[in-house]
Amino acid sequence: MDPRTGLPTVGMVGAGQLARMTHSAAIPLGLSLRVLAGSADDGAALVAADIEIGDHTSLDDLRRFAKGCDVVTWDHEHVPNAHVAALAAEGFDVQPGADALRFAQDKTLMRSRLTAMGVPCPQWADLDATEDRSAALASFGDRVGWPVVLKAARDGYDGKGVWVVDSVDDAAEVLGSDTPLLVEEKVVIAHELAAQVARTPSGALAAWPVVETVQCDGICVEVIAPAPDLAPATASAATDLASRIASELGVTGVLAVELFETTDGRVLVNELAMRPHNSGHWTIEGSRTSQFEQHLRAVLDWPLGSTEETAPVTVMVNVLAGDDDPARPALTDRMCSTLATFADAKVHLYGKGWRPGRKVGHVTVTGDDLDTVRGRARAAAQLLVDGDRSVATPNRGNE
């Protein structure tokens, strides 16, 4: 407990935008997030008072950090699972714990466990279960049909660690590496969905409505809440699935279950994330309780908040830094153009450098009509990236 406030101290390992937004949500609750940052320039380190600089792969650093915390949680999945277990063994309260977190850290473990639970997944095989990965891949591809999707079992994100291959030859380089691999059927996707729930150590659950996520080059670019044109029975089944996974795996905090809705009507689990997730950023404005507030309440074993929507439609569009372009107006000018044109858009910037392709922020618009809301959110995000060059290059003014 922090004697200054009479309230517990939550520590988050990792200082990216998730920790940054979690800190923002901590403030009204009377809390101040304690953050383990790799660098003083990390997004959360720029805004939170209680920052420890350290390495999330060092057990010593983790232990030193945890000593100031009533509960420790995670901004990402990259803390070695053995370290998470070690902290718990030493008496620290870590949420989610190692036994749950491993299913978000290792895709092979996740697929094994979900398959054993009878949860629908794409057909898959662990290439490292046999001596000959090439033969296993050939056998799998010939059985389910090429192309197939090769995945690194660990450390993939935003399309990294994923390879669509047409043949064993096509996979030669990856197969020759020492990366643990699994292979999955390449399903034909009608929509990508995400079902998000929060669960407390005591077992209380709260679910947000299922959303549609739109991906481009493996990166989430847009989230629509609730998922449009989703059959109520499908939505309900997806929510039940996420709740069941959270309970059976012992997840605490926020769980995001990424789902494929296939053209042949199946709903299959793609990935699990045990933390606030890009698919839940819409909840800051679109839900009574944001995923960041709910994650804090959940890991503290506090009562969960209402997940009622605040508007019929919410659309979140990621802001991906464009290519470097010396003619682009300065960020402040782009921000002002965006705010001036879209007075109803809520802009979120993460305090990160604008490296090409990097997620540097997002824009959320709420409203009644999907097309209007989506159009405004997209246009606002685009304007934030490009700026208004109408003054410098008048011919572009009417684009």
Q: Which is nearer to a second copy, 151 or 346 (CB)?
A: 346
Q: Footprint of a second copy on residues 140-179 (CB under 8 A)?
A: none
Judging by beta carbons within 10 Å of its beta carbon (0-12, 13-18, 19+), is residue 301 exposed, middle or buried?
middle
Judging by beta carbons within 10 Å of its beta carbon (0-12, 13-18, 19+), is residue 23 exposed, middle or buried?
buried
Segment contacting a second copy by CB under 8 A, of 138-146, 188-196, 261-269, 305-313: 305-313
CB atoms within 10 A of CB 50: 14
| Cα 241 to the center of its chain, rounded Å | 18
Task: Give the one residue of 164, 172, 231, 331 binding a second copy; rule: CB under 8 A.
Answer: 331
What 3 state SS string does 186-249 have?
CCCEEEEEEEEEEECCCCCEEECCCEEEEEECCEEEEEEECCCCCCHHHHHHHHHHHHHHHHHH
Q: Does residue 60 bind a second copy (CB under 8 A)?
A: no
Q: Which is nearer to a second copy, 148 or 384 (CB)?
A: 384
Residues 2-41: x where in contact with a second copy by CB under 8 A, - otherwise, as a string = --xxxxx-----------xx-xx-xxxxx-x--------x
Segment contacting a second copy by CB under 8 A, of 46-54, 89-97, 116-124, 234-242: 46-54
CB atoms within 10 A of CB 244: 16
Q: Does residue 379 bind a second copy (CB under 8 A)?
A: no
Q: Per the structure block, which two tokens stand in for 386?
A: 């490009």
**Sign of the Cα pseudo-torsion (100, 102, 107, 108, in order):** negative
Task: Give the one residue of 90, 240, 308, 325 binding a second copy; rule: CB under 8 A.
Answer: 308
CB of 316 to a second copy, least distance (A): 12
Residues 350-369: x where in contact with a second copy by CB under 8 A, - otherwise, as a string = xx-xx------x----x---
Q: Which is nearer to a second copy, 101 or 365 (CB)?
A: 365
How many residues comprise the chain? 399
For residues 366 and 315, what is the distance between their CA atoms, to the nearest angstrom? 6
Task: Give the one residue of 151, 275, 346, 389 binding a second copy; rule: CB under 8 A.
Answer: 346
| SS3 call for 133 | helix
Contacts with a second copy by CB under 8 A lie at: 1, 4-8, 20-21, 23-24, 26-30, 32, 41, 45-49, 51, 284, 288-289, 297, 302-306, 308, 310-311, 330-332, 335-336, 339-340, 343-344, 346-351, 353-354, 361, 366
